[in-house]
Amino acid sequence: ASRAAASTARRLLGAARDAIAVEAEHLGELDAVAGDGDHGIGMLRGLNAAVGAADALADAVGVRELLETAGDAWSETAGGTSGALWGSGLAELGRALGDREQFLPVDAAAAVTAACTRIAELGGAAPGDKTMLDAMVPFQHALTAQVDSGADLGSALVVAAAAAEEGAAATAAMLPRRGRAKPLAERSLGHPDPGATSFHVIVDTVAGLASA
Ligand code: ADP
Ligand code: MG
Ligand code: MG
């Protein structure tokens, strides 16, 4: 069917929004440990804007325009560091996917890599800084390794989401070197990074749907 990729993207965005709505309070509590406590509401505001912008587009719009529009709405509406990074990453994902409607798993993994590279460049963080990158980089590496060894996209995403979960959990032992949590870094010891945690929530939701 034409516009298949765009309709998949619409469905995944809605599911991500619903999953973040369930976790928003917990994400806010994590962000309140050493940050400003707005990560849950910021992510939810951004995802609501992304879903709203996607819903306002015509059915015929392709996945590139859909994700660029949704990503721009996320960046503009969410406020905060994570909103700017997620919005730009989503827009880059759209540009990298382009206007094809059929994708090989390696094409999807390459687009995810482009989005993650954009987020890393914009934020200037590195793995170990206790940011979303500590879930994102293991996710992206696992996804690429899986599809390179011939896995279908659904099972590759499940393995990659597990890598993100492990990466997010490991941030509990780290001291933040970026963002608002840095000045109160010691307080965050023993608590996972909010942005790494929400990254895992989103990719776990996507993996669950893609492998169903
Ligand atoms: P803000 O810190 O502006 O209130 P949020 O609370 O929504 O924004 O997001 C905080 C999260 O953003 C952190 O937990 C971390 O994962 C992520 N983050 C902060 N700075 C950076 C950065 N430079 N690069 C990547 N991620 C970052
Ligand atoms: Mg915050
Ligand atoms: Mg804030």
Q: What is the mean pLDDT of residues 131-140?
A: 98
Ligand 1 pocket check for 132: Cβ under 6 Å:
yes
Distance in angstroms (rounded) separating the CA atoms of residues 174 and 157: 26
Q: How far is the CA of 4 from the centre of ligand 2 (A)?
A: 35
Contact 81, 117 (CB under 8 A): no
> Is the confidence at residue 2, as pLDDT, over 80?
no
> Is the confidence at residue 83, as pLDDT, over 90?
yes
Ligand 1 pocket check for 134: Cβ under 6 Å:
no
Ligand 1 pocket check for 125: Cβ under 6 Å:
yes
Is the ipTM higher than 0.90? The answer is yes
Ligand 1 pocket check for 204: Cβ under 6 Å:
no
Ligand 1 pocket check for 200: Cβ under 6 Å:
no
Q: Which atom of ligand 1 is nearest to the CA of 131?
A: 16
Domain residue ranges of the chain, discontinuous segments joined by +: 4-210
Ligand 1 pocket check for 84: Cβ under 6 Å:
no
What pLDDT, on the 0 to 100 scale, is given for residue 100?
83
Percent helix, percent strand, percent coil in the chain, to nearest 5: 75, 0, 25
Distance in angstroms (rounded) separating the CA atoms of residues 138 and 147: 14
Q: What is the mean pLDDT of residues 192-203?
A: 98
Per-residue model confidence as pLDDT tens digits over 39-78: 999 999 999 999 999 999 999 999 999 999 999 999 999 9
Distance in angstroms (rounded) separating the CA atoms of residues 46 and 82: 9
Ligand 1 binding pocket mutation candidate from 26, 27, 131 (most atoms within 8 A of CB): 131
Ligand 1 binding pocket mutation candidate from 81, 118, 134 (most atoms within 8 A of CB): 81
Percentage of residues in the chain with pLDDT exceeding 90? 88
Q: What is the mean pLDDT of residues 175-187?
A: 85
Q: How far is the CA of 122 from the centre of ligand 2 (A)?
A: 17
Protein fold of 4-210:
1.25.40
Residue 179 CA: distances (Å) to CA of 64, 70, 124? 30, 24, 11
Closest residue CA from atom 25 of ligand 1:
123
Per-residue model confidence as pLDDT tens digits over 95-125: 999 988 788 999 999 999 999 999 999 999 9
What pLDDT, on the 0 to 100 scale, is given for residue 1?
39
Distance in angstroms (rounded) separating the CA atoms of residues 148 and 86: 25
| CA nearest neighbour of 46 among 83, 9, 93 | 83
**pTM beyond cutoff 0.90:** yes
What pLDDT, on the 0 to 100 scale, is given for residue 58?
92
Ion ligand 2: residues, Cβ under 5 Å: 31, 35-36, 38-39
What does pLDDT average to over the chain? 95
